[in-house]
Amino acid sequence: MTNANLFDLSGKVALVTGASRGIGESIAKTLAAYGAHVIVSSRKVESCEAVVAAIRDAGGSAEAMACHIGEMAQIEAVFAAIGEKHGRLDILVNNAATNPYFGPIVDTDLSSFQKTLDVNIRGYFYSSVNGIKLMTKNGGGSIVNVASVNGVIPGDMQGIYSITKAAVISMTQAFAKECAQSGVRVNALLPGATDTKFAAALVHNPEVLNKMMPHVPMRRVAHPDEMAGAVLYLVSNASSYTTGTALNVDGGYLLG
């Protein structure tokens, strides 16, 4: 393969969860721009349809499928539908996540604790399990788990969320180690502070932002599009010998 087409995803089928907005939307549009047929997924199919329309208007190929990854039956249903319709899956981006509780870790209520684990850990785990089973039928594929810099340095007032993102990094390594010989590569993306609705409580709060920015060498938050190029690299042949890695896209935050 020449350098000119290292990033070509033509003929690939990709599933991006949490793709109705923010980082997931940017990833879905980028993968489609490089030739993949993208299955845009989130809890509400109507929100996904808007992203699909934008991809198609730009000349790409996409479809919408609803899936709440906190619900096991919905995970199984969406992968069964992909298998029946396409007979393959080449790329999985586990991006859907939740963070229902912001506050002191010792005050974490059981409902928020369980919801965060169900989506951020169990959802990623069983989406990966189902995705890998489809991938291995056609010689392999690539998974990217969207974790967070909070998985390395816990965020203030984001205890349980940070714990789940640390688990995602470990999960990435475990799947990468066991699935490499089946032709499946598994890597993680660690975004820093990014201007999304999901992170609005942080990036649109001047007090929090002023505390955070001195620790970011680039002195700004990221735009969602700045995450998409890293994912394109990780799912394409440009990273064909890369698995089990956690790629920081954080403006230098983890440099300390």
Nearest of 147, 166, 172 to residue 249 by alpha carbon: 147
Contact, 24 vs 228, CB < 8 A?
Answer: no
φ and ψ at 225, to 5 degrees? -60, -25
Separation between Cα atoms, residue 119 and residue 165, nearest integer Å: 11
Separation between Cα atoms, residue 214 and residue 151, nearest integer Å: 20
Nearest of 101, 82, 187, 97 to residue 141 by alpha carbon: 187
As annotated, the active-site residues are 161
Separation between Cα atoms, residue 156 and residue 164, nearest integer Å: 14
User: Helices 124-136 and 72-86: crossing angle, nearest 10°?
Assistant: 20
CA dihedral 18, 21, 22, 24 (to 10 degrees): 40
Q: How far is CA 238 from the centre of its chain?
A: 19
Contact, 51 vs 25, CB < 8 A?
Answer: yes
Separation between Cα atoms, residue 87 and residue 153, nearest integer Å: 40
Nearest of 169, 88, 153 to residue 121 by alpha carbon: 169
